[in-house]
């Protein structure tokens, strides 16, 4: 498996800092206080933004331009529809209509981070059209996308599980 690494360098002599990834999914930057002999939290990544892994439930996406930040994907609705929007980050999104593997279609989701690819199927040899066809043929397929969007797009990734860890990017 591939790993992702983050490095930083403190350029001030005798100044110590540590960056901690908290279990809840946010980052904490602390500095060492030599007089008190303790670490002091200097900065915390916002828990209200969309950078937290699984900040919203499956089949929803995080959008910093909406309130609340979590929104069901088109074709899904909150499990408890009385409230309409997702009132909090734990509200589940469920399909409005069940898949029937006959005439199901897809909605384009633009300016989105790709969902978590754990368990996704990747084929770098095919294009978007064949990717869509493979997804339609697989009754468990929930989404598809290019793996490379340059030069008209290439490669294919298929999701067959719930879509998780999605966020909308701000329009440039």
Residue 163 and residue 100 share a domain: yes
Stronger pLDDT, 125 or 148, i.e. the higher one: 125
Number of separate domains in the chain: 2
Distance CA 125, CA 128 (A): 10
Strand, coil or helix: 33: strand
Q: pTM of the entire structure?
A: 0.67
Domain for residue 50, yes or no?
Answer: no
Residue 84 and residue 110 share a domain: yes
* Domain hosting residue 100, numbered range: 60-167
Domain for residue 130, yes or no?
Answer: yes
Per-residue pLDDT tens over the stretch 6-40:
677 778 888 899 988 887 777 888 999 999 999 99
Domain for residue 81, yes or no?
Answer: yes
Residue 73 and residue 3 share a domain: no
Domain for residue 84, yes or no?
Answer: yes
Stronger pLDDT, 83 or 171, i.e. the higher one: 171
Mean residue pLDDT of the chain comes to: 83
* Continuous segment of H or E residues that includes residue 130: helix 128-137
pLDDT at position 69 over 60: yes
* Continuous segment of H or E residues that includes residue 131: helix 128-137
Distance CA 45, CA 43 (A): 7
| Residues 76-114: b if buried by 16+ CB within 10 A, e if exposed | bbbeeeeeeebeebebbbeeeeeeeeeeeeeeebeebeb
Q: Which residue has the tokens 């298929």?
A: 158
Distance CA 18, CA 10 (A): 10
pLDDT at position 141 over 50: yes
Residue 94 and residue 33 share a domain: no
Position 143 scores a pLDDT of 94
pLDDT at position 84 over 50: no
Per-residue pLDDT tens over the stretch 92-137:
899 998 878 887 788 898 889 899 998 899 999 999 899 999 999 9
Residue 79 and residue 157 share a domain: yes
Cis status of the peptide bond prior to 68, with omega within 30 of 0: yes
């Amino acid at each position: 498996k591939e790993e992702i690494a983050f490095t930083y360098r403190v350029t001030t002599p005798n100044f110590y800092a540590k960056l901690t990834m908290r279990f809840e999914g946010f980052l904490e930057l602390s500095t060492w206080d030599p007089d008190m002999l303790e670490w002091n939290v200097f900065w915390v990544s916002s828990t209200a933004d969309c950078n937290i892994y699984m900040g919203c439930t499956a089949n929803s996406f995080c959008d910093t331009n909406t309130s609340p930040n979590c929104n069901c994907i088109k074709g899904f609705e909150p499990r408890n529809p009385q409230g309409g929007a997702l009132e909090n980050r734990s509200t589940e999104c469920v399909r409005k209509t069940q898949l029937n593997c006959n005439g199901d279609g897809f909605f384009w989701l633009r300016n989105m981070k790709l969902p978590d690819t754990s368990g996704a199927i990747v084929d770098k040899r095919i294009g978007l059209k064949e990717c869509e066809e493979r997804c339609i043929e697989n009754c468990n397929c929930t989404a598809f996308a290019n793996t490379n969007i340059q030069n008209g797009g290439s490669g294919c990734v298929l999701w067959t599980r719930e879509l998780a860890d999605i966020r909308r990017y701000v329009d440039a």
